[in-house]
């Protein structure tokens, strides 16, 4: 049986319900309508005894999902609108629902899986990457902060690997996705159709185990020593200084990468990540991230970052302020204040900023 909307295709086959994100030209970037469509499908299938496994996949050859529709966020931010906050309310609730879903939720994380794409996949109970996977939370490059529970996931990665990925936005492959806890299994991309077929007739774990392989080594394990040492510093400035001082070429390159990101977004990301580590549940972290996202919507860097990377594509953002020392404590405090429209409230009431 097939149903859904043009941008989200739904079908049931055997014991499985399939969600196909269907905006291949935009690498299946999420819109508000898509989030609501996925949520409705999860509601229907949760109460359908014939459906025992959920599978989410992306249409086209490029990836599962490149994130949220940041052009729409750019336009909303320029207009001082409320559409983005409304989108995030429903998106973050969907992220929490996926994490608590009572049936196996299998995410086929092939190709590009970034931002909001991580949110609809990496909270699932069965997360499959391939040799083509490029998984990332690249928000600091557009003047934003990792959301969709990204700081929850990265905050619980081994050592300081999650801090490194959150600040740099660097994409990782299959082995590093396993290492950092963003994925569970590796399946060759050529075998995904066969896996999908097995999921229609077998329990999810059994189906996946038939196709799982060991990936080639990643890069993070061999970089762990300098990453852990540098990112333990208390401030972004100190992290950058340590990276430059290590004498390790990759660390110095990372420092240069960080200095190209939004200074405000870097500091807000570090503060959010460290606060999220002190919170007990994903719901609490999503409540925190909602405050941060709403605050970021009002900063000049979000509009400027999306302009430079996506709209004009000149790759030359002009951040305000332009350096790390210029970002004040007051600038950061506002990220943790309740938003004008009220808190998300998934886990109750957050403490004052």
DSSP state of 120: T
Condensed to tens digits (0 to 9), the pLDDT of residues 289-345 reads 999 999 999 999 999 999 999 999 999 999 999 999 999 999 999 999 999 999 999
pTM: 0.96
Active-site annotation, residues: 68, 116, 139, 147
Condensed to tens digits (0 to 9), the pLDDT of residues 55-87 reads 999 999 999 999 999 999 999 999 999 999 999
Condensed to tens digits (0 to 9), the pLDDT of residues 169-211 reads 999 999 999 999 999 999 999 999 999 999 999 999 999 999 9
Strands 185-186 and 112-114: unpaired
Give me the DSSP letters along 276-338. HHTSSSHHHHHHHHHHHHHHHTTSHHHHHHHIIIIIS-------SS-SGGGS-HHHHHGGGSP
CA distance 125 to 111: 19
Condensed to tens digits (0 to 9), the pLDDT of residues 249-267 reads 999 999 999 999 999 999 9
pLDDT score at 348: 76
């Amino acid at each position: 049986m097939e149903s859904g909307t043009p941008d989200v295709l739904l079908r049931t086959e055997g014991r499985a319900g399939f969600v196909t994100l269907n905006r291949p030209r935009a690498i299946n970037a999420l819109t508000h309508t898509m989030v609501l469509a996925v949520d409705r499908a999860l509601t229907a299938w949760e109460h359908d005894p014939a459906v025992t496994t959920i599978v989410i996949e992306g249409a086209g050859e490029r990836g599962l999902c490149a994130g949220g529709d940041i052009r729409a966020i750019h336009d909303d931010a320029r207009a001082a609108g409320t559409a983005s906050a409304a989108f995030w309310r429903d998106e973050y609730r969907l992220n929490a629902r996926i994490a608590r879903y009572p049936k196996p939720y299998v995410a086929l994380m092939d190709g590009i899986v970034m931002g909001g794409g991580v949110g609809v996949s990496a909270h699932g109970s069965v997360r499959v990457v391939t040799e083509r996977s490029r998984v990332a939370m690249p928000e600091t490059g557009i003047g934003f902060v990792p959301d969709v529970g990204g700081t929850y996931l990265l905050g619980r990665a081994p050592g300081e690997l999650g801090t490194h990925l959150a600040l740099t936005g660097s994409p990782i492959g299959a082995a590093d996705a396993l290492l950092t806890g963003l994925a569970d299994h590796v399946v060759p991309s050529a075998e995904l159709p066969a896996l999908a077929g097995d999921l229609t007739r077998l329990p999810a774990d059994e189906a996946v185990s038939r196709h799982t392989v060991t990936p080639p080594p990643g890069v993070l394990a061999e970089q762990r020593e300098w990453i852990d040492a540098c990112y333990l510093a208390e401030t972004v400035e100190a992290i950058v200084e340590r990276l430059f001082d290590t004498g390790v070429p990759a660390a110095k390159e990372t420092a240069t990468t960080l200095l190209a990101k939004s200074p405000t977004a870097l500091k807000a990301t570090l503060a959010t990540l460290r606060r999220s580590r002190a919170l007990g549940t994903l719901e609490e972290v999503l409540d925190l991230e909602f405050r941060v996202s709403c605050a970021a919507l009002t900063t000049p860097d979000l509009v400027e970052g999306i302009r430079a990377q996506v709209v004009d594509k000149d790759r030359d953002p002009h951040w305000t302020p332009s350096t790390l020392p210029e970002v004040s404590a007051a600038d950061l405090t506002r990220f943790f204040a309740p938003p004008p429209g009220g808190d998300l409230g998934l886990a109750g009431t957050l403490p004052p900023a």
